[in-house]
Amino acid sequence: MTGERREFVDEDLSGARVLRSDLADVVMRGVYVAGMDLDTPDLADGPLFVNGIDVAPYVESELAKRFPGRELKDATDPDGLREAWSAVEAAWAEALVTARGRGGVSVDGEWTFAQTLRHLVMATDVWLKGAIFGEQQPYHPIGQPFAEFADTGGDVTIFREPTSYEEILAVRGEHQALVREFLDHVTHELLAQPRVDPWRPTVRVSVLQCLHVVLNEEWEHLRFALRDLEIDERGRS
């Protein structure tokens, strides 16, 4: 990204696909947007104005209806965090049933359901085992790194392909249990303790903030996975 301000005037961008791009403060005027599909895990950072109305709160409220328990992801006390984790675990248990037999489905080049589970293994490794526990090499070898991992200096050679979908489920289950066990004993004092941000070594974050990242990763990737399974289902019908 150059930071250079660009203008698109009288351009035909219909059908364009924009991935992993910074569109903060983009202004669009007189644009035709029928069928436009905007998907961002950072919508809650808002605002997002459509015809002068901030639609971010509305979208968040609709997502909470679609994914019961999602609204708990910003809990700040031990009991609330335990409830939040129970809710997201239950949602993923249902998703595993929905995805049965379709773990390898990919839509528009997005991760498969199996790869999504592997990425959540890595997310737990980064923010719980790495940031909170302080492990120097927290990564499980079947984790799925994000696209820019190597560009940030990450060593991709530590990862390997899983031997089977069953291995993914087993490792994923172990990681879920690790979060659950940690939350079973977490205290207010521990939540306030500082940790090093795994991606920004000069920045300090609290244990609570680390847990919020874990919860957000869980809910957003659940949404992505179910979205793609639904698209795949429509394509088959």
What pLDDT score was predicted for residue 190? 98
Q: Which CATH number fits domain 71-236: 2.120.10.60, 1.20.120.450, 1.10.10.10, 3.40.50.300?
A: 1.20.120.450
Task: Report residue 194: phi and psi, to 5°.
Answer: -85, 150
Is there a contact between 206 and 192 (Cβ–Cβ < 8 Å)? yes
In the chain, where are the structural domains located?
1-67, 71-236
CA 89 vs. chain centroid, Å, equals 14
Query: How far apart are alpha carbons 83 and 60 in whole angstroms?
Result: 19
> What's the Cα-to-Cα distance from 63 to each of 34, 43, 93, 207, rounded to whole Å?
21, 11, 18, 26
Low-confidence ranges of the chain (pLDDT < 70): 1-3
Query: pLDDT per residue over 147-189, tens digit each?
Result: 888 888 888 999 999 999 999 999 999 999 999 999 999 999 9
pTM of the model: 0.88
Query: What does the pLDDT read at residue 102?
Result: 92
Instruction: Note the pLDDT of residue 80.
Output: 98
Q: What's the pLDDT score for residue 24?
A: 82
Residue 37: its pLDDT value, please? 84
Closest to 119 (Cα-Cα) out of 146, 139, 101: 146
pLDDT of amino acid 41: 82
Asked if 119 and 144 count as a contact pair (C-beta separation under 8 A), the reply is yes
Q: Residue 216's pLDDT is what?
A: 96
